[in-house]
Chain A
Amino acid sequence: MTPSLAVDKPNPLAGIAATTGSRHPPSGRWLPALILLAPSLIMLAAFTYWPVLRVIGESLLVGRFAGQGTIGFDNYRRLFVDPHFGRAAWNNLVYAAGTIGPSLGLALAFALALRETNRLNSCLRTLVVMPLMIPLVAAAALFSFILLPGDGLLDFYLHRFGLGMVNWLGDPDLALGSVIAITVWKNTGYYMLFFLAGLAGVPQDVVDAARIDGAGAFRRLRSIILPLLGPTFGFVVPIALVNALTQIDHVVTMTQGGPSDATNLLLYYIYQQAAQNYDFGLASAGTVISVGALLALSLASFRALERGIHYEG
């Protein structure tokens, strides 16, 4: 299925219009721009920029009880010696790797396999995309049952193969993997949509030419398709990174970070410090570190992809 990108009306002058548009900009007129941007800027300031400043400030404010505010790095010191934070950070790394890799890989595989538009493919694509439509807490409710030891769906059917009572969410060795699996199930369809669109932009004749020349499927993938999907990766990877940090709904409702910290993630740690322990200094320090890590990783992945695209040529 080729997604429709074009505006409704036919647009033969589109290319020309775009260039003429940028060649004659009305210069220096910032007042109309300011007025048009004002509502967005005010909102962004209130809920994105100010919070960043505020959270940095609160992270430097030391003292648990009212009237005890001094400036210092003690919150960060406490953060780094807290084994729960270290565990949450490590878990989040594992969680990120475990969700981004497989879900992107599966999404690409599904996209490649379901590339052609026919009845069956449409049907299969729909099934894979459906998880996108439900909230993560709904997925959590379903998987709470599926992963129930003994009577749950998975164990019920595994029983036929001799495996019996696996405690998917209660065994510290398996719990994070189970949470990862739920996330992969939820997100793969979403990423697949992007790959489908990206693949639609890969000219089929180039791929066919390569096949005629004798290049195997894997070679075609590596040398032609992947580089051309560069921009798609450039878009999807940061999204996947943000998701790896912010999708914790299932941890909140299913495992509460347990058992024994096995599913503690950075945002959950922050949520706990703020909502359970009322330790806003610690929660703010945690937020600063997490946001910093996210920005750094996004920048790094962006650079890496850019470089990757250029080298493949």
Chain B
Amino acid sequence: MISMTRRTALGAAIAIPAATALSRAAFAAPTELDLFFPVPVQGMLADKMKELIGRFNGQQQAVAVTAVYTGSYDDTNLKTRAAIKAGKPPGAVIMSANFVREYVINDEVDPFDPYIEKGGAGASAYFDDSFWPALKPNAVIGGKIFGIPFQNSTPLLYYNTDAFKDAGLDPDRPPTDWAEWVAAARNLTKPGGERWGSMFPATYDYCGWLTSALVMQNGGQYYNHDYGGEVFYDAPSALGALMLLDKMVNQDKTVPPGVSDANACTSAFFAGRTAMMMLSTGSLSFIRSNMKLPYKVAFLPRSVRHAAPIGGASLILPKGNTPERQQAAWALISWLTSPEIAGEWSRFTGYFAPRKAAYDLPEMKSYLAEHGDAKVALDQLQYAVPWFDTFNTVAVRKAMEDQVQAILSAKSTPAESAKAAQKSADALLRPYVEQTALKSLG
């Protein structure tokens, strides 16, 4: 647990000007706001978030925020949409970054531009100056800012250095490409489940994320980054990725069959029952606290290229709130995404801070010097690619995930799966496509 330095405390006061833009009278009743937030990775993040919100409330009188834990990314999405549809939108939501596009398509969110500009900055310049470029495609849609990045992650390769030594591999030279990865897994696997070469979570959401990583490492686009109506599930790049999974799980048997969730992966890693795992940087702190065996982290292996999809969440402004409420939300959001708080949250969770300036602060510099694993996550950002987002993202994502899960359980071949996934996805995207690309021109 990283304690807050005085500098951080003072630094957090930057949001106060934004908050005072709200209430003219010092004794005006505070604007009440509810913040929906998910906890998609491991660790006691819900408690920390509530603590942060308590701090924000204590530091100013204009806004009173209630932090509402709303489950996973998918659950948070459901609850937010239900609330908006019923006319009772939350004040702000920490929404999975790849759902923002769909909210824009359905006209359920408002852009941040007016509030940013009120603070004196040009909106576009504000985004480019503040946040990493890889985050832009998921947050800036149609030229307007609809998502302010709060926490971001990429997948990492975690590996047990003792296991490497035990298998005769150099612990300082983790696999850098698929061929080396497959070979290493073979060397590291001990029969009977005593030790697996590699594991990764394949539950909904995680599965799609890691699959997109593999496909993009294989040179593919996976989906059309600029248009939410197309996916490329049966392109050769995707097929190749599915074949890799099939090889490791069903042929080499270096990855356990079936669908493992994140807990199963980390439990196995902690117990030395898996030598490697593909997991989010968001779990970095959790693993650091619980892994007693020596381990290191590395970039994901490449195929045609390195690719690490962004994961994580951005803050959004649901439609249907009064401008006053949205101004209050902006006060909260600019505080939460300030370099100081972004840095603190990053150090606590293991997510990397989307705010570039966070890494200029001395706390962050000393933290990175001390924790090489966090530095690796940051360095991998140069290869970051955007997160899968389309029309009806969850269902279209599941179209591929169901097929991948079938491959992991040897119920389907890569070729069958790729075709089935594409067919399923096309059917789901059809209504949107007919409204846009194939729109009847009269």
A residues near B (Cβ < 8 Å) are: 64-65, 83, 148-151, 164-165, 167, 170-173, 256, 258-261, 275-278
Contacts and interface: CB of A to CB of B under 8 A. Distances in A.
A148 B264 contact: yes
Given A170-B258, A170-B260, A277-B395, A65 B431 contact: yes
Contacts of A172: 258-259, 405-406, 409, 411
Given A165-B193, A170-B259, A171-B259, A260 B406 contact: yes
Nearest to A64: B431
- Summarize A's interface: helix, strand, loop or mixed: loop
B193 A260 contact: no
Nearest 3 Cβ contacts at the A-B interface: A170-B259, A260-B405, A259-B259
A277 B392 contact: yes
Contacts of B267: 148, 150-151
Contacts of B431: 64-65
- Summarize B's interface: helix, strand, loop or mixed: helix
A149 B405 contact: no
Contacts of B411: 172, 260
17 contacts: A83-B424, A150-B267, A150-B271, A165-B256, A170-B202, A170-B203, A170-B259, A170-B264, A172-B405, A256-B204, A259-B405, A260-B403, A275-B78, A276-B78, A276-B394, A277-B392, A277-B394
Given A259-B409, A260-B411, A150 B273 contact: yes
Looking at B82, B202, B259, B263, the one whose CB has the most chain A CB atoms below 10 A away is B259
Contacts of A171: 257-259, 409
Interface in B368-408: 392, 394-395, 401-403, 405-406, 408
Contacts, number: 80
Looking at A150, A165, A171, A260, the one whose CB has the most chain B CB atoms below 10 A away is A260
A275 B82 CA distance: 7
B201 to A, nearest CB: 10
A82 to B, nearest CB: 8
Given A150-B273, A277-B395, A277-B428, 7 more contacts: A65-B435, A149-B260, A150-B264, A167-B257, A167-B258, A170-B259, A260-B411
B34 to A, nearest CB: 20
Interface in B224-240: none
Contacts of B401: 258
A258 B394 contact: no
Contact of B259 (A83, A148, A167, A275): A167
Looking at A171, A258, A259, A277, the one whose CB has the most chain B CB atoms below 10 A away is A259
Contact of A261 (B257, B264, B402, B408): B402
A173 B264 contact: no
A150 B268 contact: yes
Contacts of A151: 267, 271
B261 interface: yes
Interface residues of B, number: 36
Contacts of B268: 150
A99 B74 CA distance: 29
Contacts of B402: 258, 260-261
A57 to B, nearest CB: 19
Contacts of B424: 83
A272 to B, nearest CB: 8
Contacts of B253: none
A149 B274 CA distance: 13
Contacts of A260: 259, 402-403, 405-406, 409, 411
Nearest to A149: B264
A192 B167 CA distance: 56
B260 A167 contact: yes
Contacts of A261: 402
Contacts of A164: 192-193
A83 B260 CA distance: 24
Interface string B75-96: 0001001100000000000000
Nearest to A165: B193
A259 B201 CA distance: 12
B327 to A, nearest CB: 29
Contacts of B435: 65
B395 A258 contact: no
Contacts of A149: 260, 264
Contact of A167 (B81, B256, B273): B256
A64 B429 CA distance: 11
A259 B395 contact: no
Interface string B407-420: 01101000000000
A197 B406 CA distance: 46
A141 B326 CA distance: 37
A162 to B, nearest CB: 10
B244 to A, nearest CB: 19
Contacts of A259: 202-203, 258-259, 405, 408-409
Nearest to B402: A260
B146 to A, nearest CB: 19
A173 B395 contact: no
Contacts of A173: 409
Given A148-B264, A165-B193, A172-B405, A278 B81 contact: yes
B203 A258 contact: yes
Nearest to A264: B402
B85 to A, nearest CB: 8
B273 A258 contact: no
Nearest to A167: B258
Looking at A65, A164, A170, A277, the one whose CB has the most chain B CB atoms below 10 A away is A170
Interface string B45-85: 00000000000000000000000000000100010011000
Contacts of A278: 81
A178 to B, nearest CB: 12
A258 B256 contact: no
A152 to B, nearest CB: 9
A171 B192 CA distance: 17
Nearest to B404: A260
A78 B411 CA distance: 25
A237 to B, nearest CB: 34
A258 B259 contact: yes
Looking at B395, B402, B424, B435, the one whose CB has the most chain A CB atoms below 10 A away is B402
Nearest to B194: A164
A32 B37 CA distance: 53
Looking at A150, A171, A173, the one whose CB has the most chain B CB atoms below 10 A away is A150
A261 B411 CA distance: 12
Contact of A276 (B203, B256, B395, B409): B395
